[in-house]
Structure 1
Amino acid sequence: MILCAGESLIDMVPQDGAFRPLAGGAVYNTAIALGRLGRATGYLWPISRDPFGDQILAPLAEAGVNTDLCPRTDRLTTLALVTLTNGEARYSFYDEGSAGRMLVPGDIGPLPQTVTALFAGGISLVPDPCGATLEGLIAAHHARLPVMIDPNIRPFFVTDPEAYRARLGRLLPLADIVKLSSDDLEWLHPDLAPEEAARHILATGPKLVLHTGGESGARAIWAGETVAVPAVRTTVADTIGAGDTFNAGVLASLDRQGLLSKDGIAAITPDQIRAALTLGAEAASVTVSRPGANPPWAHEMPASD
């Protein structure tokens, strides 16, 4: 089971002069995409007992995602108020004291042996106590479990950039796979070109650094020659959840190929990397073709996959 640990929240999206609540969150989206792609998936994040908590749980159940590790709490669900300025989305977070933000180590029970890989990232790595709790979870299990991290950096959410750079400086070397966008790489290493920044991160410990560039496709920087795949052309409704779905496609492909282990990732070949990037790109293309974070189900993917 691939365990996805990180934020879920409610996006309050403008619609007809009001706001429509939609379940979201980067790690939550990846968990749902993995479940829809038919992989054994678990989710770990505190879920409120408020009505929004039920709204968050329903799509997880529909996708077959295991939520046994999710603590329930009377704290409120995080809200992200979305405003559109010239078509560009901006977010205001109502997060202080929320269900997820207050995650502490005591909320996390022993991980069952059925957990075979760990995925983490998103804004849940930024504030404390939840950020420190997830850092501790990764530090405790990275020696046994393959770890993928996508920090999905949102500068407007980071109140102490140096502290967060320091946290990522501790976390990324513990990961086997790191996924970063061009914006992430620029924020982490503004003085380096994207591939130089990716290779700098690779040198700290990960086996694969995946660099996504939207329409320019995805690249894997690793010990061998860079592997690149193009983006899949489609009519774009919006890009919400595209990167999260890409992550799920990569993990699903590695799982199908029998590579989602420490030894499997260490011995990966260019063709195996290309297959993983391709499934990630194909899955993301379905998500961007329809509004919101609505990842594909397995039957919607090309038959060759």
Structure 2
Amino acid sequence: MAMSILVIGECVADIVRAPAGSGADDRVHPGGSPANVAYGLARLGRDVTLLTQLADDPAGRLIADHLKGAGVRIALGGTPARTPSAVVGLDERGRATYTFDIAWTLEGGAPAGEEPGHVHIGSIAAVTAPGADAVLAETERLRARATVSYDPNVRPALMGEHGEAVARVERCVALSDLVKASDEDLAWLYPGESAQTVAARWLALGPAVVLVTLGADGSFALTRRETVTADAHPVTVVDTVGAGDSFMSAVLDTLAGRGREALEGLDAEHLAGLLRRAGTAAAVTVSRAGAQPPDRDELDAAREEFALRSGRAS
């Protein structure tokens, strides 16, 4: 039986503002970092449940239909008055900024009978009270028999006091076997420190693998034995919405079924392949509007295309 994955976290309706004077309409996309990760995993054929909150409103129904259409099972941990939303502004390079209207009050845990082999947490849900306490309690309960991953996906406007935010993030890091962050996340959390320095500090907290994405400069992986880098794939960027989440989905898909000992033992070749595959998923996503990660066929085709361009085996 295929390993099941439980993702715990928020759903958000991303309202992408049209450029001023363009005459175009705003676009509404299903979003929320954990929801995007769950969606990406389902698109890659994984057995995935999302423990989240959704209101019975147009945005909630849009998101639920989107997730279920890919095969994500939804477990509701409470029903908010309205589905969270984020107004997304895009600069001239397609980079996204967010203004949030969100509350997170998660109740309960994994559905009855759910025995996930892996748990993924992150973003707003892992640090925003009061729901963050439920997220961490459930993660602590499940990690005795499941591996854990974490993506802070920092949203400064929702992080609260800086020192407390860093402490909450580091608690999540310490619970995890694998952590992924962007260089922008790390720059906000630890101003003036290099991404490599922070990744090494996080590794000392307990994870087997720390991954850092660097935008157009690619990514790197750090374990206790290896440091591996990968270049970004050159693509025309439409927008960056969901790029990191697609990267995360591809990482979890690639590593599915590996226990803690196997993660500890990843060698340079496996890490390089992991970064290339995840980077390909992110590249496909930024080449089209919204958080639209590739399915397995699209990802395989893109890997072949990029490998041919670079003259390297995929």
Q: TM-score, normalised by structure 1?
A: 0.89
**Shift, 1:18, TM fit:** 5.3
| CA displacement at 1:111 relative to structure 2 | 5.8
Instruction: Identify the residue that residue 114 of structure 2 maps to in structure 1.
Output: 112
Q: Is the 8 A contact 1:253 1:275 kept in 2?
A: no
1:50-92 CA-to-partner distances (Å, cap 9, x unmatched) read 222110111211111122x224626210121234577764432
- Whether 1:32 aligns to 2:39 is yes
Secondary structure of the 2:144 match is coil
CA distance, structure 2, for counterparts of residue 118 and residue 243 of structure 1: 17
Name 1:194's counterpart in structure 2.
195
| TM-aligned CA distance change 1:74 to 1:159, over 3 Å | closer
Residue in structure 2 matched with residue 301 of structure 1 by the alignment: 299
The structure-2 alpha-carbon separation of the partners of 1:184 and 1:249, relative to structure 1 and needing over 3 Å to count, comes to: same
Secondary structure of the equivalent of 2:49?
Answer: strand
Give the aligned CA root-mean-square deviation in angstroms: 2.1
Quick one: which amino acid aligns to residue 8 of structure 2? A
Q: Which amino acid aligns with 2:254?
A: S
Q: Is the 8 A contact 1:50 1:74 kept in 2?
A: no
1:75 equivalenced with 2:81 (yes/no):
yes
User: Which residue of 2 is the match for residue 272 of structure 1?
Assistant: 270
Q: Are the aligned partners of 1:144 and 1:262 in contact in 2 as well (CA < 8 Å)?
A: no
Which amino acid is 1:78 matched to?
P
Secondary structure, in 3 states, of the residue corresponding to 1:120?
A: strand
AA aligned to 1:9 is V
Letter of the aligned partner of 2:277 in structure 1?
L
Q: Distance in 1 between matches of 2:180 and 2:25?
A: 35
**Matched residue type, 2:40:** A
Alignment-mate amino acid for residue 102 of structure 1: T
What secondary structure does 2:270 align onto? helix
In structure 1, the partner of 2:243 is 242
Alignment of 1:1-305 (within 5 A): 1-15=4-18, 16=23, 19-67=26-74, 69-71=75-77, 73=79, 75-83=81-89, 89-95=96-102, 98=103, 101-104=104-107, 106=108, 108-110=110-112, 112-113=114-115, 115-255=116-256, 258-259=257-258, 261-303=259-301
Displacement of 1:223 in angstroms is: 1.1
The 2-side partners of 1:90 and 1:265 are apart by 33
Deviation of 1:169 after TM superposition, in Å, equals: 2.1
Checking the alignment, whether the CA contact within 8 Å between 2:162 and 2:189 is kept in structure 1 is no
Number of paired residues? 295
Give the conservation status (yes or no) of the 8 Å contact 2:220–2:229: yes
DSSP 3-state at the match of 1:112: coil
Whichever residue aligns with residue 188 of structure 1, its letter is L
Q: Which digits, 9 at most, give the CA deviation of each residue in 1:16-47, with x for residues without a partner?
A: 47543221111111111111111222111012
Q: Closer, same or farther in 2 for the Cα pair 1:138/1:74, shift >3 Å?
A: closer
Q: Structure 2: give runs of 5+ residues left out of the alignment.
A: 305-313
Give the stretch that moved more between structures: 265-274 or 232-241. Answer: 265-274
Which amino acid in 2 is paired with 1:112? Answer: E
Gaps of 5+ in 1: none
